[in-house]
């Protein structure tokens, strides 16, 4: 089925010069267990430049949320980073002490969680929570706190009168936007978001995505956005990462990945989204389930479900090979591969 090219990205960004805001190199995260641990994230590389929106896409069990938590240094046992580095403006977060991290947290990078209802304290008002966040990372007077809190709420389109409200008094969409406001209190350089829209209805989702992009334009922060819904980021992200079974299987400019997905998994994933326009055709999805990461398969992790798997895929592990503007972890794109 011919993919019409993606018409546009909202406010597209070209990678800014200079070192990337976030540079993840060869990151590996393992969950300890009796016996061999489970490697939830296996050698992931990712670069995020100033003002860039990077989408990380994958289904359940692919490791994207674990990777996000690892980047934000929020992992707790039994999960731990067992390899690689997370460079924030050149400094390695993995080797920092808690005190050093605290200086950076919220001021230089912040996190928006998946469910606002779980992340916001249900028994304190929004104003109190903003105040906690502000006081935890700096010394401010009362009036400064009040002013800043009102500022960020207005930024996300909420009337500051809601500062006195409790989370349950706000609607789902407003809660999520309040979370984003909280993340922007210090105008950080990087905001990490873990599926912030999954509990919202389609209309609220759309307005939230547009809002995030507009804020990026205004304030210049970079975003790493994790989601299972590829189409959600199709108009908003500059760079796209597709993860499967703990590895990055495709990475590149969003437009290119949507126009011509190189990896069979990305292709299968894109094809699994029924469209509301165009002809109605029967789709097939991707049969089977992701592999058990406690006992990862030999060779390519996708080969058991791959429609174009070759013999060597069962024994040879592919690396990330360049294919035009994208990188693809597939033996089909191995350099000097003679295609039959």
Residues of this chain that bind another protein (CB under 8 A): 3-4, 6-8, 10, 40, 59-66, 68-69, 114-115, 157, 171-173, 194-195, 198-199, 201-207, 209-211, 228-232, 234-235, 258, 268-270, 272-278, 280, 282-289, 292, 295
The side-by-side arrangement of strands in the sheet containing 222-227 is 109-112, 190-194, 222-227, 53-57, 239-244, 247-253, 326-328, 321-323
Q: By C-alpha distance, which of 116, 27, 110, 26 is closest to 74?
A: 110
Give min distance, CB of 113 to another protein, in A.
10
Give min distance, CB of 131 to another protein, in A.
26
DSSP state of 16: P
Helix (H) or strand (E) holding 28: strand 22-31
Give min distance, CB of 89 to another protein, in A.
26
Of 138 and 288, CB closest to another protein? 288
Integer Cα distance of 229 and 281 in angstroms: 21
Compute φ and ψ for 18, nearest 5 degrees: 95, 180
Give min distance, CB of 263 to another protein, in A.
13
Of 103 and 272, CB closest to another protein? 272
Q: Residue 10 to residues 17, 186, 210, 238: CA-CA distances in angstroms?
A: 21, 25, 8, 9
Give min distance, CB of 124 to another protein, in A.
23
Of 155 and 269, CB closest to another protein? 269
Of 232 and 331, CB closest to another protein? 232
Give min distance, CB of 127 to another protein, in A.
21
Of 202 and 338, CB closest to another protein? 202
Q: By C-alpha distance, which of 244, 247, 284, 249 is closest to 268?
A: 284
The two three-digit tokens of residue 138, written as one number = 């700096």
Of 40 and 300, CB closest to another protein? 40
Give min distance, CB of 189 to another protein, in A.
24
Contact 225, 233 (CB under 8 A): yes
Of 193 and 209, CB closest to another protein? 209
Contact 161, 153 (CB under 8 A): no
The side-by-side arrangement of strands in the sheet containing 22-31 is 38-48, 22-31, 79-88, 91-92
């Amino acid at each position: 089925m011919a993919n019409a090219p993606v018409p546009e990205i909202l406010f597209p960004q070209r990678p800014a010069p200079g070192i990337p805001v976030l540079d993840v190199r060869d990151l590996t995260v393992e969950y300890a267990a009796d016996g061999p641990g489970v490697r939830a994230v296996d050698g992931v590389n990712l670069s995020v430049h100033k003002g860039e929106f990077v989408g990380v896409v994958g289904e359940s069990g692919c490791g994207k949320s674990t990777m996000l938590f690892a980047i934000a240094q929020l992992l707790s046992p039994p999960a731990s980073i067992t390899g690689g580095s997370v460079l924030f403006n050149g400094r390695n977060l993995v080797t920092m002490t808690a005190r050093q991290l605290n200086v950076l947290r919220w001021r230089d990078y912040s996190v928006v969680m998946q469910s606002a209802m779980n992340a916001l304290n249900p028994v304190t008002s929004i104003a109190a929570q903003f105040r906690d966040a502000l006081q935890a990372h700096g010394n401010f007077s009362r009036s400064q706190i009040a002013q800043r809190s009102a500022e960020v709420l207005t930024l996300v389109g909420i009337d500051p009168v809601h500062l006195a409200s409790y989370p349950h008094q706000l609607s789902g969409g407003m809660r999520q936007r309040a979370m984003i406001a909280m993340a922007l209190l210090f105008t950080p350089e990087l905001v990490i978001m873990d599926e912030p829209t999954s509990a919202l209805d389609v209309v609220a989702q759309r307005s939230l995505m547009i809002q995030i992009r507009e804020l990026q334009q205004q304030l210049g922060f970079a975003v790493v956005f994790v989601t299972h819904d590829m189409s959600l980021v199709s108009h908003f992200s500059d760079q796209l990462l597709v993860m499967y079974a703990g590895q990055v299987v495709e990475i590149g400019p969003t437009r290119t990945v949507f126009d011509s997905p190189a990896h069979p998994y990305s292709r299968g994933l894109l094809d699994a989204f029924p469209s509301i326009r165009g002809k109605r055709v029967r789709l097939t999805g991707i049969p089977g389930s992701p592999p058990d990461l406690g006992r990862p398969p030999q060779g390519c992790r996708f080969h058991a479900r791959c429609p174009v798997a070759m013999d060597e895929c069962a024994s040879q592990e592919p690396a990330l090979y360049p294919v035009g503007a994208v990188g693809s972890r597939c033996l089909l794109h191995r350099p000097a591969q003679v295609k039959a």
